[in-house]
Amino acid sequence: MNLKEIKQPEQIKTLSIPELNVLSADIRKFLVQSISKSGGHLSSNLGIVELCVALHYVFDSPKDKMIFDVGHQSYIHKILTGRIEGFKTLRQFEGMSGFQKRVESEHDVWEAGHSSTSLSAALGFAITRDLNNETNQVIPIIGDGALASGMSFEALNQIGSEKRPMIIVFNDNNMSISNNVGAFSTACTRLRASKSYTSLKKDLSRTLNKNKLGEQLLHVMKDVKDGIKNSVVDASIFSEFGLDYIGPVDGHNIDELIKVFESLKDHTAPIVVHVITQKGKGYSYAEKDLQGDWHGVGKFNVETGQSLSSLAYNHLDWSSVLSESLIRLAKEDENILALTPAMSKGSKLDKFAKLYPDRFFDCGIAEEHAMTLAASLAISKRPFISVYSSFLQRAIDQVNHDIARMDLPVVIGVDRSHLVGEDGETHHGVFDISMLYSTPNLIISQPMNADEAQDLMYTAFRQEHPFLIRIPRGSVEYKEKAFEQIAIGSWSVLKTVQDMKDIKVIVVTYGSDVERIYQKALINETPILVVNARFIKPIDYRCVDTIAQANLPIIVYELDVLHGGLSSAILEYCNDQKYCVNLTRMGIQDHFVGHGSLPQLKKKEGIDMNSLFDRINEVIHE
């Protein structure tokens, strides 16, 4: 069957097992070729091709609810539900999302971009089904990294109590973005390597060839599970939650998968199907990847596996700037520790982990736990925790209650701040300032360049309060420098003309746009004063006094949401001081921003550089 011919998933139900295997091979080939041109989540999708094919072969979407945890591994689901043409615009501006999206298709019954929501959502669908006296099945598909998170365990606790039928597909590939950590992952490894697993596969093979498949299959699976439950943690952990459990099942054997799912269609209780898959299967470079390099990729050469993007020789990505600074500081201070919730590769802390393995802690996909752990460490140590801005949203209470309330000196690297591009609304890092601004004791900063980033890291470890350092996605010109301490709450200014009398507009902003605005103004000979508001909290009150009393138009330019941001803080202060200011606010309005390239998104939001300078010129000529 030609992939382009698939408009609805029921079309594959007439195919034979050999034909389904050919279909799976065609899907893998298409994914590699397509993602090499668009970028996207490659390894996770390559790993579940047969699993998705089997699910759509057995179940009836959208009547049966398939919920992909995180949603980044739903590419096969999109192909089988008639959206292959959408891959031409995958993750592009106003094109097809890289995640499940309810507005895209009736088959996308849930959407997410953060992990561990699928089980809670599945319970909601199961409750709704039962209240409506319906008979559909609910099938969350969740990986071993997400299943080990706190939210998943909270959901399992109630799922086991409610006893509502659902089929929880436990997709076990021993990876989330990179290698999983923790006791749960260790338990999975023991099960995969156990003699019981080998025996189970043989029992399953024999059972699948018998009549009355469902009854005998569950009987054999239960006997094997009961025989190993005392020695293998994860065979018993589900039963402790009151869940039935079968597996492990070969996640790349379509025949086996179909027969297992067929046997469970009418199961009357929640059951976990443990499926073993290989992340990146079918593409050698992804198969060999143990570091997470092929989890989410940009454009690449299919034959060589080489990325088609590269950094300038004197540039470093922002995450590495903080990491390199941390390593230099840790060399001189053995009390400095590093933590991250499953993002050691993305946050470039893997080098720190190799140098100081006893001082590095990967907490898994558990932002809340990671923050509170950092808080307790800060009582006697100096922890640095790196977390993506969009994931930091999941730990707001811990920052407030456990860190800021006790005024503990945790240094928080807020990675991927501002708009991040193609991953869209679930990943944009535009909310952390407004969410945290009202938190007492908290210092929020963002450097304009790599020099200032190094100095802010140094400053953060030489003071005694919670300290956030925000950095965007992307790279920056970098050269190692001697550390210098920066006064907390201080701003700096850049003038495009020598005489202040010639200044026509004051632009207040933060981050890498400070220098971009300054350089463009120099080239255009635009008479402005650029204020580097490197501390977003506390603001530089003396500087605000000065610019408010200058009686000049002020533009506050932000790449984050306006409500509760820097301009809000400036206006509040000016109001309290009875200053009458002519202040224009530029930033993201009260809505979620979709996916696309950064230039496209900024232009749509009216916060690109051209929009800013159009506004500057309008103000000058008013």
The string of DSSP letters for 482-495 reads ------TT--EEEE
The tokens of 278 are what?
Answer: 């290989």
279 is catalytic: yes
**pLDDT for 333:** 97
How confident is the model over 67-84, as pLDDT tens digits? Answer: 999 888 999 999 999 999
Better-predicted residue by pLDDT, 308 or 485 = 485
> Quick one: average pLDDT of 455-484?
97
Domain limits, the chain: 3-288, 315-477, 492-620
Contact 471, 322 (CB under 8 A): yes
> What pLDDT is attached to residue 301?
87
Cβ–Cβ under 8 Å, residues 408 and 379:
yes
For residue 428, the model assigns a pLDDT of: 95
Q: What pLDDT score was predicted for residue 216?
A: 56
C-alpha span between 50 and 83 (Å, rounded): 18
pLDDT at 296: 73
Out of 279, 281, 345, 348, pick the active-site residue.
279
Of the residues 367, 368, 558, 605, which is catalytic?
Answer: 367
pLDDT at 247: 82
The arithmetic mean of pLDDT across residues 543-562, rounded, is 96
pLDDT confidence band for 217 (50 / 70 / 90) = low
Name the architecture of domain 3-288.
Answer: 3-Layer(aba) Sandwich (3.40)
**pLDDT at 233 > cutoff 70:** no
CATH homologous superfamily, domain 315-477: Thiamin diphosphate (ThDP)-binding fold, Pyr/PP domains (3.40.50.970)
State the pLDDT confidence band at 571, using cuts at 50, 70 and 90.
very high
Of 165-174, 175-184, 247-256, 270-279, which range is least confident?
175-184
Token readout for 407 is 């005024």
Residues 54, 254 contacting (CB under 8 angstroms): yes
Mean local confidence (pLDDT), 50-61: 97
Q: Do domains 315-477 and 492-620 have the same CATH topology?
A: yes
Give yes or no for residue 10 having a pLDDT over 50: yes
- 359 given a catalytic annotation: no
Task: Categorize the per-residue pLDDT at 236 as very low, low, confident or very high, splitting at 50, 70 and 90.
Answer: low
Question: Can you tell me the mean pLDDT for 27-56?
Answer: 93
Strands 296-297 and 40-41: antiparallel
Is the pLDDT assigned to residue 218 strictly greater than 70? no
What confidence category does residue 225 fall into, taking pLDDT thresholds of 50, 70 and 90? very low
Q: Name the residue with tokens 């992909």.
A: 68
Residue linked to tokens 């009875």: 578
What is the structure's pLDDT at 200? Answer: 46
Q: What is the pLDDT of residue 413?
A: 98
pLDDT at position 198 over 50: no
pLDDT surpassing 70 at residue 213: no
Rounded to whole angstroms, how far apart are CA atoms 601 and 591? 13
* % of residues, the chain, pLDDT over 90: 73
Say which residue the tokens 């520790």 belong to: 337
**Catalytic option among 83, 164, 281, 394:** 394
Average pLDDT, the chain: 89
Rounded to a whole number, what is the distance in angstroms from the first to the last CA of the chain? 65
Q: Please name which of 106, 41, 113, 104 lies closest in space to residue 76, comparing C-alpha atoms.
A: 41
**Confidence check: pLDDT of 622 > 50:** yes
Question: Would you place residue 90 in the very low, low, confident or very high pLDDT band (cuts 50, 70, 90)?
Answer: very high
Mean pLDDT of 449-466: 98
Sign of torsion, CA 566 570 575 580? negative
Q: What is the pTM of this model?
A: 0.85
Q: Yes or no: say if 280 and 286 are a contact pair by the CB < 8 Å rule.
A: yes
**Greatest alpha-carbon span in the chain:** 92
* CATH of region 492-620, choose from 3.40.50.2300, 3.30.365.10, 3.40.50.920, 3.40.50.11030: 3.40.50.920
Residue 235: in which H helix or E strand, if any?
helix 233-240
| Cβ within 8 Å of residue 610, ≥6 positions away | 603
Least confident of 142-151, 334-343, 544-553: 142-151
d(CA 80, CA 607) in angstroms, rounded, equals 38
Of the given ranges (38-42, 139-143, 475-479, 521-525), which has the lowest mean pLDDT?
Answer: 38-42
Q: Exposed (0-12), middle (13-18) or buried (19+): which is 542, by Cβ within 10 Å?
A: exposed
Looking at residue 604, its pLDDT comes to 95
Catalytic: 367? yes
Binned at pLDDT 50, 70 and 90, residue 22 comes out as very high
Which residues 6+ apart lie within 8 Å of 181 measured at CB? 342, 362, 363, 364
Q: What is the mean pLDDT of residues 99-126?
A: 93
Angle at 242 between CA 240 and CA 246, to 5 degrees: 90
pLDDT of residue 175: 59
